[in-house]
Amino acid sequence: MPAEKLAFPGRNYLYAPGPTHIPVAVQNAMVVPMEDHRAPDFPELVKPLLRDLKKIFKTRNGQTFIFPATGTAGWEVALSNTLSPGDKVLIARFGQFSHLWADLAQRIGLDVQLVQVPWGEGVPLEQFGRILRADKKHEIKAVLACHNETATGVTSDIAGLRRVMNRAKHPAMLMVDGVSSIASIDFRMDEWKVDVAVSGSQKGFMLPAGMALLAFSRRALAAAKTAQCKRCFLDISDHIATNKDGFFPYTPSVPMLRGLRASIDLLLEEGLENVFKRHYRLAEGVRRAVVDGWRLDLCAAAPKWRSDTVTAIKTPRNVNAAEVIHIAYHRYNVSLGAGLSEVAGKVFRIGHLGDNNEVRMMAALGGVEMAMRDAGMKVKPGSGLAKAIEYYCDTAPGKKIAAFGSVKAPREAQVKRKSKARKNTRKRK
């Protein structure tokens, strides 16, 4: 039975893994009068923005680019600016987005060597190593890797992939889809020698969709000079020519640039390492609710694959995950991520990236518990919430520092204050 559509007070609770909740500071930064993108002072916005974006990608040597497009366009920017028709690329298919990137590569004329991996796993390092070692003529020009596969809640080991490529002594470029990882999960472009990194505005950057964010290594910039794939709107050479002066080759979305400025300021103010730790804590609380509380399985096949930005949850065989999503949205005003392609109807997804904290995640878990029960799943009320509460309370960062000393001591502080008061009373007597 479809859930009855009700009129809801308040706003929708958005827990899809992108687009994500937009912080008030970012939202307010975008509500500005229209500006002249050719104004003499426009470079005062653009130049620092491109420079600070490098801090998020963790690159000093690379060059960043901002396209008024999506992460999908970012994939094409990466490939078309560095490769030529017929060039061979290596990629593993283990989710909807790795599948789509491989499909895009084929459609623009590249020779795709596709490795099929069970959905729930990530980049197969050992298999890639064997393939690269066997490629004696170095026909593979690029290795494509989806850092965080949003469809299955799986994160791959990019540092490990770089080690595999180094051991194979293979000169292929390394290109990484970091759309749902960069600005949320640790990503080290220079250290891992990533040649092109792709991200998007609507996930960890906490903005609306519509902005592709990329970083190119010097090696990738050099490859762009000889790449023969056709490109026009997505050509980085036009950006290189104009960005150096603080402008763009065509009209940018200035409100989005203002929002990006506010977003990067928030990320840097919190500190990237703190951002990563926060994402891990929120994700781990959700995982404990799912596994220990609800006794359900994750789509991620092993702990090493578990993503800190999205959790994909398997429903029992007799329950269509789409029904849980439908009920959550129509009855409780909670938006969840759907299962895609091979996992459609088998999983639903909770996004916990971007502007989130413990209380927002508790709201998500409560809404999901209600939706699952309404969908016929045998879930004990409060079972997942209890496990998440235990974890969040036990690991709360503020436990060591608080306004009145140790947080574990509000009760202790009260006892001490009462004891001191009693002593003072006795002295006065």
Domain positions in the chain are 13-17+271-395, 24-269, 400-429
Task: Tell me whether domains 13-17+271-395 and 24-269 share a fold.
Answer: no
Q: DSSP character for 293?
A: I
DSSP-H helix ranges across 108-151: 125-134
d(CA 231, CA 252): 18
- Provide the pLDDT for residue 418: 46
Number of H helices, E strands in the chain: 14, 13
Whole-structure pTM value = 0.90
Give the pLDDT band (50/70/90) at residue 50.
very high
Identity (one letter) of the amino acid at 190? D
Mean pLDDT for the stretch of residues 368-396? 97
Distance (Å, whole) CA 339 – CA 424: 65
Question: pLDDT for 236-295, tens place per residue?
Answer: 999 999 999 999 999 999 999 999 999 999 999 999 999 999 999 999 999 999 999 999
pLDDT above 70 as % of the chain: 91
Quickly state the pLDDT bin for 410 (edges 50, 70, 90): very low
Cα separation, 295 vs 342, in Å, equals 23
Q: What is the mean pLDDT of the chain?
A: 93
Q: Residues 6 or more apart from 76 whose CB is under 8 A from it?
A: 104, 108, 231, 234
121: three-class secondary structure by DSSP: strand
Q: Quick one: pLDDT at residue 38?
A: 96
In the predicted structure, residue 412 carries a pLDDT above the cut 60: no
pLDDT level of residue 316 (50, 70, 90 thresholds): very high
CATH of region 24-269? 3.40.640.10
Q: How far apart are the first and last CA of the chain?
A: 74
**Averaged pLDDT, 129-157:** 98
CA distance 260 to 29: 9
Alpha helices in 8-155 (DSSP H): 24-30, 43-57, 71-80, 96-107, 125-134
Measured distance CA(138)–CA(181) in Å, rounded: 29
Is 428 a residue whose pLDDT tops 80?
Answer: no
- Phi first, then psi: give them for residue 67, nearest 5 degrees: -110, 140
Q: CATH assignment of 13-17+271-395? A: 3.90.1150.10
* 3-state SS, residue 191: coil
Pick the more confident residue, 7 or 1. Answer: 7
